[in-house]
Amino acid sequence: MRLQWKYTLIINLFIITFMALFFVIDDVKLRKDRIEGQVKDISRGILIRDIADVLRATVQDLSDPKVIERELRSVVREMGVEDQIVDVNVTDEGGRIIASLKGWEIGNMVNVDREGYERISRGRIRIYRLARYHGRWVTEAIIPYPRSARFEDDSNIVIEKGLIQILFDAPDVASYLWELRLIHMIYVLATSISLAFLINLLTGRMVIRPLENLIEIIQRADEGDLNFLVVSRSKGEIGRVSSRLADMIRQIKVAHRERIEALGRMASGVAHEIRNPLNSISMTVQYLRSIISSGEVSEEDLNEARECLEIMDKQVKRLSQITDQFLTLNRPPSLQIEPTDLESLIDDVLSEFNAAFNGAGISIIKRYCGELKDVPLDADKIRQAIYNLIQNAIQAMPKGGKIYITTKLERGRFLNKAVVEIRDTGMGIPDEIQPRIFDAYFTTKEREGGVGLGLSLTLQIVEAHGGKIELRSKVGMGSSFRIILPIRGGNER
């Protein structure tokens, strides 16, 4: 799982769990508050009803506002509910306040819409509701009462009705709201602290610690301490990067050691390769000196001197060839692509080994397909690659054997390929060294003065053509090298 998604998933799961826990606790508290509120509402409703009945009976026959206010204060005081009643307002038939216990709302309208007012007037319906009144939470009770009566004739009586607005103190609402705010504040605080702790813990375990591990690996590698590499225990992306980095540094260390060993072998091989021509040149120079130092130089001495000069010229060319090999290994070959008969080129290479084949008891078996007449390639470079492979095959069969050379044209949907297989019946290559045989300076022929450049140069040439080499070998059953070259348009470089 990607670090980002894993990190986000854990944080979100924690938040969801914490919120679910809070809502469960909050729901339990709400149920408890609801039960307690129902009990309080029942007792408060009985009290409100009793007070409302007394006040209505008190003011229903009064019309003077001052008398009404005096009676209201008297009744409230006698009932002992001064601390529970915030205000009492009495309206006329239009809903305008004409008398008030506190005198705050004289002349104002009671907040009841016309429909509600008509319902109260018609059905003697009482209204109970929670409201804000002069900055306090109150329970509002609105009840109708008959104000006065007048006779229009002997048969019709018109009863005018007003409203009594009784406002009871509701301190539990304020305390409930404060408690609710406090609970949510505690919830937010607890969530923030827990989330910060979790983020810190996750960041430390999933990001900081693996990064510190990664930094330690880099620092130790920078200081050259490759013997001790921290192994990351994290299974995340950073942990995998740390493990890969440690593995890469180990591989670099192994490759560096192998490179040093290869350079040692190369130095030994170069010394061997150069020593032989130099020894030959030195001996020839000494022989020439002995000829020249004699008093008389005969025609026969001159002929021998000419032969010595030819020997020296060949040895110098050999030294030049050795130098060119090392220079070629360190730079990509420049190709001169032209259509070439690949099978004729192979025959030309084989002709150079006729004496070696006869002397070593090696027979050549050719299986040509006859379809590789105009393959675009660098003839000189491919000739060198095939030469190196045949030479290796000869060296792998000191007691004689067979070399099978097969050509084939592999047709593909988008690209055709020319295939040359060179298979011998020699000793074979052990499995443990097969991955290294194309490495520069790797050789199993140190005693014979091998430098280990033949197969490396061969691979370099084939890859420069965009091709590849496949190896199949088993100890005691010989080896097979397949050169696979893509066939593209001519004149490519």
Q: Whole-angstrom Cα distance, residue 245 to residue 14?
A: 33
Nearest one of 176, 196, 172, 130 to 26, comparing CA atoms? 176
Q: Which residue has the higher pLDDT, 265 or 421?
A: 421
Core vs surface per residue 307-323: b (16+ CB within 10 A) or e: ebeebbeebeebbeebe
Phi–psi pair at 487, nearest 5 degrees: -105, 105
CA 170 to chain centre: 59
Parallel, antiparallel, or unpaired for β 416-424 and 468-474?
unpaired
DSSP label at 247? H
- Alpha helices, H only, 231-371: 237-293, 299-329, 342-351, 354-360
Structure tokens, 35 = 């039960």
Please state the length of the chain.
493
Query: How large is the average pLDDT for residues 428-438?
Result: 85
Per-range mean pLDDT, top range of 18-22, 98-102, 108-112, 237-241 = 98-102
Query: How large is the average pLDDT for residues 401-418?
Result: 91
| 62-74 pLDDT per residue, tens | 778 888 888 888 8
Q: Which residue has the higher pLDDT, 309 or 174?
A: 309
At residue 401, the pLDDT reads 92
Q: How many CB atoms lie within 10 A of CB 118?
A: 12
Query: In degrees to the nearest 10, what's the CA dihedral of 198, 201, 202, 205?
Result: -170
At residue 363, the pLDDT reads 92
Nearest one of 204, 298, 302, 217 to 253, comparing CA atoms? 217
pLDDT band at 469 (very low <50, low <70, confident <90, very high): very high
Q: How many CB atoms lie within 10 A of CB 298?
A: 10
Assign 121 to helix, strand or coil.
helix
Question: For residues 472 and 489, is the Cβ–Cβ distance under 8 A?
Answer: no
Q: How many CB atoms lie within 10 A of CB 233?
A: 11
Average pLDDT value for the chain = 77
Burial of 221 (0-12, 13-18, 19+ CB in 10 A): middle
Per-range mean pLDDT, top range of 106-115, 152-161, 445-454 = 106-115
At residue 493, the pLDDT reads 37
Q: Does position 274 have pLDDT exceeding 70, yes or no?
A: yes
pLDDT band at 420 (very low <50, low <70, confident <90, very high): very high
What percent of the chain lies above the pLDDT cut of 70? 73
Q: Which residue has the higher pLDDT, 262 or 10?
A: 10
Residue holding tokens 């026969």? 300
At residue 160, the pLDDT reads 62
Question: For residues 147 and 92, is the Cβ–Cβ distance under 8 A?
Answer: yes
Query: Poorest-confidence range of 129-138, 185-194, 217-226, 471-480?
Result: 217-226
pLDDT band at 319 (very low <50, low <70, confident <90, very high): confident
Q: Max alpha carbon distance in the chain (Å)?
A: 184
At residue 280, the pLDDT reads 75
Kindly list the domain boundaries of the chain, sorted by start residue: 3-169, 338-487
At residue 491, the pLDDT reads 41
Assign 108 to helix, strand or coil.
coil
Assign 419 to helix, strand or coil.
strand
Question: For residues 63 and 148, is the Cβ–Cβ distance under 8 A?
Answer: yes
Q: What angle do CA 174, 178, 183 make, to 5 degrees?
A: 145
Query: How large is the average pLDDT for residues 153-157?
Result: 50
What percent of the chain lies above the pLDDT cut of 90? 14
pLDDT band at 441 (very low <50, low <70, confident <90, very high): low
- Cα-trace Rg, the chain: 55
Nearest one of 409, 338, 414 to 376, comparing CA atoms? 338
| Amino acid code (one letter) for 142 | I
Query: How large is the average pLDDT for residues 214-219?
Result: 72
Residue holding tokens 């030959």? 280
Which element (helix H / strand E) includes 363?
strand 362-367
Query: How large is the average pLDDT for residues 386-409?
Result: 91
Query: How large is the average pLDDT for residues 236-244?
Result: 67
| 342-385 pLDDT per residue, tens | 999 999 999 888 878 888 889 999 999 999 988 999 998 899 89
At residue 478, the pLDDT reads 92
Question: For residues 429 and 355, is the Cβ–Cβ distance under 8 A?
Answer: no
Question: For residues 239 and 233, is the Cβ–Cβ distance under 8 A?
Answer: yes
pLDDT band at 338 (very low <50, low <70, confident <90, very high): very high
Parallel, antiparallel, or unpaired for β 362-367 and 401-410?
parallel
Burial of 272 (0-12, 13-18, 19+ CB in 10 A): middle
Parallel, antiparallel, or unpaired for β 362-367 and 127-133?
unpaired
Fold of 3-169: Beta-Lactamase (3.30.450)
Superfamily of the domain at 338-487: Histidine kinase-like ATPase, C-terminal domain (3.30.565.10)
DSSP label at 208? I
Q: Whole-angstrom Cα distance, residue 264 to residue 267?
A: 5
* C-alpha to C-alpha distances, 38 to 81, 127, 443, nearest whole angstrom: 21, 18, 97
* C-alpha to C-alpha distances, 363 to 272, 351, 395, 405, nearest whole angstrom: 31, 13, 14, 11
